[in-house]
Amino acid sequence: MLFSSVTFLFYFLPVLLGLYFLTPGKLKNALLLVASLVFYTWGEPSSFWVLPLSVVVNYIAAFFVSPTSTGDNNKDNTSRRKWVLGIAVVLNLALLAGYKYVAFVISNWNELAMAAEWKTFTVPPTHLPLGISFFTFQAISYVVDVYRGTTQVQRRFVDYALYACLFPHLLAGPIVRYADLARELSSRSHAAGVFASGVRRFIIGLAKKVLVANPIAVFVDEQFALPSHDISVGVAWMAVIGYGLQIYCDFSAYSDMAIGLGRMFGFHFMENFNQPYHARSMRDFWRRWHISLSSWFRDYVYIPLGGSRHGPVRELFALVSVFLLCGLWHGANWTFVLWGLWHGVLLLCERLGMENLLPRLWRPLQHVYLLLAVSLGWVLFRCQSVTQAVAHMKAMCGLGPVEHPPVDLILFMTPQHLISLAAGVLVAISPVALLQRWIQQRQSLSGSPLSQFAFQSGELAGLAALFLLSVTHLAATSYNPFIYFRF
């Protein structure tokens, strides 16, 4: 059940909102939990059991790793807590690996085994449950934080289950820490202003997804469907630029809608994007892109591996390890592994001295470096195989085979494609956010009731127009999946 679907927009969400605000305060969490499970089951009926199993295992494990539950006053208790923590983390990762990585490992083993005439194995095809990468990382963060004592164990099962299953962030994030929602799980306000800001944020995300990301996706898919050796340099570059716009508009749109939905129900999720294409270094990019994931790897992988506390060699090892794992988190494919290593190596180069050189460059050149580096990474991220990625990079450099006349860019650049790409650029440089901030500033500075009314009426009319355009576009097109649903 996509946020950008008729079923969600006109049936699930209105009915749930009506029931939610009619339900007494003590039962609101139970209602949201049931609705979240229905939401998940709608899209994942065959693997529905995976999510409840994860909830139950981690709810129980938290009691055994909590210092306040066990009494952290002797070595035996500390040792037991460590063992339980280790088992809980292993179980979470085993569930994720069983669905996501076993087939990848076996297929690579079989290729090696056939060359060496060793025994090969067969593995039945598996369907990756929706959101498993996200809710597994959330569960690990909860158990680890309880072990560390930075989060109190949640004794009410319904409240913990709601945190783990809350449908706005369940399928594609943001990866929410339990500590960020702990207070609101027990008591939250439902102010009209917060609800209105949630509706506003949701509509902006819906428009970004339906009116910008989806049309760009059609354009990008057409270009990547062509054999790499049959495309011109222009087509190869435009495909990558288009994909960079598509994935940002698509993923940030989901985060916008998730944050907006959270506010409608009284929850506040962290921001997941902060104008990432404004960055001037790879380090800056990862402070702005998928913030919830990068902060998760920092707190639960990079720092435990030593971070910057044990010398430069240990720091560089931790950095590359983080991005290797980050690539694997995105998918069981060598293209994702190389994408993670590419970002890790660039960050490594910046740590080794390039970050001192970059600020001395002309600012536009800093942006060119970042956009070029990220775009080359998107080739690996988008292509289905390393062979295809290498061929596409050759085409970008004009080094592809010349037996056939290459497909020229002019064949793809229809007026609709130009409009969608221009809209993607506008979203990426965020003039809408700047305009909204300017309007809010003008509104706050203006004391005239007439001016206040004019600003509010104009904003309402604009949001209504965006919503109607989005719904109309939904009815007229069939392309709608979110990119991060397959991770």
Q: Do 216 and 107 share a structural domain?
A: no
SS3 content of the chain, % helix, strand, coil (to 5): 75, 0, 25
Q: Of the candidates 279, 295, 441, 297, which has an alpha carbon nearest to the alpha carbon of residue 358? A: 279
Which long-range contacts link 347-354 to residues 24+ away (Cβ below 8 Å)?
A: 347/282, 347/283, 347/286, 347/319, 347/323, 348/316, 348/319, 348/320, 350/281, 350/282, 350/283, 351/312, 351/315, 351/316, 351/319, 352/316
End-to-end CA distance of the chain: 17
Angle at 92 between CA 298 and CA 337, to 5 degrees: 55
Q: Which of 427, 445, 477 finishes a domain?
A: 427
Q: Which of 404, 427, 450 finishes a domain?
A: 427
pTM for the full model?
0.90
Q: Do 309 and 174 share a structural domain?
A: no
Q: Do 210 and 178 share a structural domain?
A: no
Q: Do 249 and 162 share a structural domain?
A: no
Residue 468 included in any domain = no
For the annotated catalytic residues, the residue numbers are: 330
Residue 6 included in any domain = no
Q: Do 235 and 174 share a structural domain?
A: no
| Residues contacting residue 483 through CB under 8 Å, at least 6 positions apart | 246, 247, 250, 251
Q: Do 386 and 349 share a structural domain?
A: yes
Amino acid letter, 374: V
Q: Do 324 and 288 share a structural domain?
A: yes
Residue 169 structural domain: 27-188
Distance of CA 472 to the CA centre of its chain: 26
Cα dihedral 173, 174, 179, 184, rounded to 10, equals -80
Q: Is 269 helix (H, G, I), strand (E, B) or coil?
A: coil
Residue 378 included in any domain = yes
Residue 111 included in any domain = yes
Q: Which of 188, 210, 225 finishes a domain?
A: 188
Q: Of the candidates 141, 135, 131, which has an alpha carbon nearest to the alpha carbon of residue 62? A: 141
Q: Do 169 and 68 share a structural domain?
A: yes
Structural domains of the chain, count: 2
Q: Do 213 and 286 share a structural domain?
A: yes
Instruction: Note the helical H segments in 26-101.
Output: 28-43, 50-65, 67-70, 75-100
Instruction: Note the helical H segments in 302-414.
Output: 311-330, 334-349, 355-357, 363-382, 386-396
Sequential pLDDT tens for the chain (487 residues): 788 888 999 999 999 999 999 999 889 999 999 999 999 998 778 888 999 999 999 999 999 999 876 555 566 688 889 999 999 999 999 999 988 888 888 888 888 888 877 878 887 777 888 889 999 999 999 999 999 999 999 999 999 999 999 999 988 879 999 999 999 999 898 999 999 999 999 999 999 999 999 999 988 998 898 887 778 888 889 999 999 999 999 999 999 999 999 999 999 999 999 999 999 999 999 999 999 999 999 999 999 988 777 777 888 888 989 999 999 999 889 999 999 999 999 998 998 888 788 888 889 999 999 999 999 999 999 999 999 999 999 989 888 765 566 666 776 677 887 888 898 998 888 765 666 666 666 666 655 677 667 777 877 888 899 999 999 888 777 656 777 766 6
Residue 263 included in any domain = yes
Residue 477 included in any domain = no
Q: Do 177 and 215 share a structural domain?
A: no
Q: Do 34 and 176 share a structural domain?
A: yes
Q: Do 228 and 184 share a structural domain?
A: no
| Token pair listed for 213 | 């990301």
| Residues contacting residue 381 through CB under 8 Å, at least 6 positions apart | 243, 247, 330, 335, 336, 339
